[in-house]
Amino acid sequence: MGLIQGKIPMRVKLIHGFGAVAFGVKDGGFLFFLLFYYSQVLGMDAGLVGLILLAALLIDAVVDPIIGYMSDRTYTRWGRRLPWLYAAPIPLAVIWILLWSPPGGVAPSPLGLLGIMVGVRVLLSACEVPSVSLVPELTSDYQERTTLFRYRYLSGWMGGILMMVLAYTVFMPGENGLLQQDGYPAYGYFGAVLMAIAVLGSAIGQHHIVANLPETKPAPFSLRDAFSEIFEAFSEKAFLIFAAGGLAAYISQGMTFSITNFLNIYVWQIDRVSFDWGPNWLNGLTAYPFVLGVSVVGMFILVGPMHNRFGKPKSAALSAVIAITFGLFPYFLYLGGLWPAIPSLASTALFFGFTIFANMFGVVLMISATSMLAEIVEAFEERTGRRAEGSFYSGNWLVQKCATGFGAAITGQIIAFSQLEQGADPAAVEFGVLYTIIITFAIATIALGLIAAFWLGRFPITREQHEARIAARAVQQNAQKE
């Protein structure tokens, strides 16, 4: 059973969620800025950068399940997860700085960039997998697990949004500021400090709750046994269904986030829209993170009632369809000649309105999918007698990183296929280039979103089944005590 019975204290929700800020910083950097920085600023081919992102994930895919397995089998007086959360964040901060401050200010070789990306991803896994694996350990309550994920996603998004605001207003400000190299190293330094503080602070805040010697001592580590147990966990039917839907959802998310700056600057030109009533630093681009913030707050309010009424699988399927509709409708209006003039205040305001709802339901989709994993833990334990939180969440992490990396790789190919020139003036880009970007993006988004809705909507564990399983487990544990 979980360590906490009943409602989780607000302090624990906030502290646990705070650790996800590191994930938000990394995700925002990788998905919103990295491809743009290395292609449009440092001059690397966008398609090559996308392939390097994908290659780093394929390498990381071998490492992530091992981290989850080792986390499950860590046996210390501080429990299974805390040693990882204390050891990994400082090395992560160092290599994050290197990613945004390449030696000599020039792009490293493809192999050098690959090594840096692999290092970032492996070290972030060593922080995130143990941290998120605490969720089913902290509580067995169906709805309280959703609540913990709400706070994790809220914190992660706020960390990413904070970095976006600082990027647009402090580190790379002004018109065409993203095309200037000088601010990216400072962006890297600030993000590194924030990630280290988030992971260490969350670990210290939860120390008094989870720092306990595990009930059973695991057998000595064996690579053969590790892959055998990982394969068994990943063969769980519910996990395979989750993975099919989650893979499509994460690919779509990775593609959407990594193409955002290209679309915002070259299609909507929101960086050229100012607000007369606002401060000098406020324009369409610097306002964009606040729009995302509004959408995340909406998610935080909406996801609990949706799970209560529809359950997690149906919530995920509905959210996928709604996110596609709101996300792509502005592009169809634009191509059909029904959109206000660009750039203009009317165009930017209307685009922001659609973005709020598209992103809000997109995040509900992600929370619904991730929260399903906690139920797989008990189903697997019922079948095998073993708990494998780390293996399952490393599996989710593997699916997520491989998929988002593949999504970023798709963006790289879309930009290369469109023949958008490096450092191109947004006002001078031909319509044919923009048309190619929009159509290929829309086709991929629709296909991936419908696949995600189909599979996640068929997730086989209902709330009633989960609660019955927890009750049976409690009876068994009480009988063993007697």
pLDDT at 1: 42
Longest dimension (CA), the chain: 78
Q: Which residue has the higher pLDDT, 229 or 46?
A: 46
- Residue identified by tokens 């707050």 is 297
pLDDT at 221: 67
- For range 101-105, the mean pLDDT: 87
pLDDT at 342: 94
124 neighbors 26 (Cβ within 8 angstroms):
yes
Least confident piece of the model among 192-201, 247-256, 327-336, 381-390 = 381-390
Cα 479 to chain centroid distance, Å, stands at 41
- For range 258-282, the mean pLDDT: 88
266 neighbors 41 (Cβ within 8 angstroms):
no
DSSP 90-126: HHHHHHHHHHHS-GGGSPPPHHHHHHHHHHHHHHHHH
pLDDT at 469: 78
pLDDT at 365: 94
Within 10 Å of residue 1's Cβ, how many Cβ atoms? Answer: 12
pLDDT for 180-206, tens place per residue? 889 999 999 999 999 999 999 999 999
User: Residue 371: which of 396, 401, 388, 394 has the closest Cα?
Assistant: 396
User: Residue 442: which of 345, 360, 333 has the closest Cα?
Assistant: 333
pLDDT at 145: 80
Which two three-digit tokens encode residue 243? 């993975």
Q: Indicate whether 120 pLDDT > 80.
A: yes
| Average pLDDT value over all residues in the chain | 87
Residue 210 banded pLDDT, cuts 50, 70, 90: confident
Q: Which of 6-20, 430-444, 456-470 has the highest mean pLDDT?
A: 430-444
373 neighbors 132 (Cβ within 8 angstroms):
no
What is the SS3 assignment for 283? strand
User: Residue 449: which of 355, 360, 319, 352 has the closest Cα?
Assistant: 319
- Enumerate the H helices of 167-222 as residue ranges: 184-210
Domains annotated for the chain, with CATH where assigned, are 16-210+221-481 (1.20.1250.20)
Bridge partner list, 274: 283
